[in-house]
Amino acid sequence: MNIDVWSDIVCPWCYIGKRRLETALSRFEHRDKITLTWRSYQLNPEAPKVATETTVQMLARKYGVSMEEAEAMQTRVRDVAAQEGLKYRLDITRSENSFDAHRLLHLAREHGKQDALKERLFAGYFLEGASLGDAETLLRMATEAGLDKDAAAQVLAGDAHADAVRADIAQARSIGVQGVPFFVLGGRYGLSGAQPADTFLQALRKAWDESAGGAAEA
């Protein structure tokens, strides 16, 4: 059974959702028969490739709140992330465009490295303050995730996989995705948001029981 996950690398709830899904999968009886496909989504497609403001500044501007209120929003997210073992450094993240990172994820999918790269990008951005707009930084993280350096460099130097990124985003719109993370289990069941691990586990079992996989075991 496949799980499609629409998410954005700059979305803090998406990394939290990844961890919670992984917790649920670790308790799922048919984990070895599950595949994950990470789909592209952009929360802020107009963000510059090179950051001109911090994430806190962006939030204050976007929602019309003070810097103190924006920092409080970040603190709440950081505290939730900590419960999943993630030590967010939201004070050093910057508002940057994630499009090139998504293109690399499509390359990674072709080579069976998509989940490894997704994890590396999330960790780089949220735990290390890595720049998603810097080609050298993206190339380093891609190679650390196991991708061929020359192949990754070739993607970053051109526009390879750009259409695939746009197709993922268009598909999200077509099925009514209005925010991420968004999970589709077995092509049938959708879950929105970073749900608790128990909720994911219940959904996994339901989707499995009503899928071809579950029917095959009946």
CA distances from 20 to 39, 79, 195 (A): 18, 15, 7
Residues 15, 49: contact at Cβ < 8 Å?
A: no
**CA–CA separation, 168 and 128 (whole Å):** 27
Q: What is the pLDDT along the chain (218 residues), one digit of tens a residue?
A: 999 999 999 999 999 999 999 999 999 999 999 999 999 999 999 999 988 899 999 999 989 999 999 999 999 999 999 999 999 999 999 999 999 999 999 999 999 999 999 999 999 999 999 999 999 999 999 999 999 999 999 999 999 999 999 999 999 999 999 999 999 999 989 999 999 999 999 999 999 998 865 555 54
Predicted pLDDT at 213? 58
DSSP 105-167: HHHHHHTT-HHHHHHHHHHHHHHH---TT-HHHHHHHHHHTT--HHHHHHHHHS-TTHHHHHH
Q: pTM score, two decimals?
A: 0.94
- In the chain the domains, ranked by start, together with CATH numbers, are 2-217 (3.40.30.10)
DSSP 92-109: S-B----HHHHHHHHHHH
Tokens of 5: 């996950």
Predicted pLDDT at 211? 82
Q: What is the pLDDT of residues 138-180, one digit of tens each?
A: 999 999 999 999 999 999 999 999 999 999 999 999 999 999 9
Residues 6+ apart with CB under 8 A from 209: none
My answer on whether omega of the bond before 12 falls inside 30° of 0, hence cis, is no
Largest CA distance in the chain: 57
The count of other CB atoms within 10 Å of the CB of residue 70 is 20
